């Protein structure tokens, strides 16, 4: 009897711990990312100026500068001043290449009429019979296509679990396999390191990945069988 009681208590302790971890991990990861982003922005301006600032002041000053830059861009003299600044930077060797490339990327991302990724695909990488998820970024690669004698597609290969970094590959169109997955679902596969599995998101939609409308992931802990028993993932 005592052994059964101890076993039951241990099972409850283990189940509650796992459930708690599942609940707090998404929040914890989100908080960590926000803190790192805050620290990155907060340290950028003091690093450029070479001065020390109170925590949070760098972010505040950056937001103020961004506000007045946006305000200036809306009037005639502000536009002229920005144009002059762009021309000065564009005339500096090496720096102009970096600045113009970053400016084009920012302009493309901020343009709501164009998605960053066109679609999710599979490509044979990094070796034969080994496939990875990639995202089509551009099909306008006529120059490279003429060089190799076949149409090339620009593919971004993200790293796991951080999809913001990765590799750029130009892959022949005939060697690309469409996944028919929404881009958001494919990104979730990359971030999870394959833990979700392609089958789990094969019917994904933008607002509910493979789940019925109104479904929340916390429903895992409250879903009931027809008989009334709770479907507990800890069992």
User: DSSP per residue over 47-83, as a string?
Assistant: HHHT----TTHHHHHHHHHHHHHHHHTTSHHHHHHHH
Query: What string of pLDDT tens digits covers the 235 residues of the chain?
Result: 677 777 778 888 888 888 888 788 878 888 888 888 888 888 888 888 888 888 888 889 888 988 888 888 788 787 888 888 888 887 888 777 787 777 776 766 666 555 678 899 999 998 889 999 999 988 888 999 999 999 999 999 998 877 878 999 999 999 999 998 988 888 888 888 887 777 776 654 444 444 444 545 445 445 444 444 444 443 4
Kindly state the DSSP code that residue 153 receives in the 8-state scheme. Answer: E
Distances (CA, A) of 65 to 49, 69, 139, 153: 14, 6, 37, 39
Q: ∠164-168-172 over CA atoms, to 5°?
A: 135
Q: 189: buried, middle or exposed (CB in 10 Å: 19+, 13-18, 0-12)?
A: buried
In a domain, 65, yes or no: no
In a domain, 148, yes or no: yes
Confidence (pLDDT) at 170: 95
Q: Provide the whole-model pTM.
A: 0.49
User: Percentage helix, strand, coil, to 5, in the chain?
Assistant: 55, 15, 35
In a domain, 90, yes or no: no
In a domain, 226, yes or no: no
Confidence (pLDDT) at 54: 86
Whether 152 and 145 have beta carbons less than 8 Å apart is answered as yes
Number of domains into which the chain is organized: 1
Rounded Cα–Cα distance for residues 235 and 222 (Å)? 13
In a domain, 209, yes or no: no
In a domain, 23, yes or no: no
In a domain, 136, yes or no: yes
In a domain, 159, yes or no: yes
Q: 214: buried, middle or exposed (CB in 10 Å: 19+, 13-18, 0-12)?
A: exposed
Confidence (pLDDT) at 105: 66
Domain range enclosing 154: 120-201
């Amino acid at each position: 009897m005592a052994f059964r009681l101890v076993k039951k208590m241990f099972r409850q302790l283990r189940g509650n711990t796992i459930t708690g971890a599942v609940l707090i991990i998404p929040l914890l990861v989100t908080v960590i990312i926000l803190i790192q982003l805050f620290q990155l922005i907060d340290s950028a301006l003091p690093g450029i100026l070479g001065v020390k600032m109170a925590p949070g002041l760098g972010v505040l000053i950056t937001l103020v500068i961004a506000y007045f830059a946006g305000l200036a861009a809306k009037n005639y003299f502000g536009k002229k001043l920005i144009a002059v600044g762009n021309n000065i930077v564009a005339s500096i060797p090496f720096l102009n290449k970096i600045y113009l490339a970053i400016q084009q990327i920012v302009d493309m991302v901020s343009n709501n009429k164009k998605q960053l990724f066109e679609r999710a695909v599979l490509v044979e990488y990094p070796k034969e019979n080994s496939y990875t998820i990639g995202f089509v970024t551009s099909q306008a690669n006529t120059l490279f296509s003429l060089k190799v004698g076949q149409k090339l597609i620009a593919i971004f290969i993200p790293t796991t679990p951080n999809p913001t970094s990765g590799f750029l590959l130009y892959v022949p169109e005939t060697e690309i396999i469409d996944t028919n997955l929404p881009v958001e679902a494919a990104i979730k596969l990359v971030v999870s390191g394959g833990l979700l599995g392609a089958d789990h998101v094969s019917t994904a939609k933008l607002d509910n990945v493979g789940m019925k409308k109104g479904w929340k992931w916390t429903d895992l802990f409250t879903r009931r069988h027809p008989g009334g028993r709770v479907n507990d993932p800890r069992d």
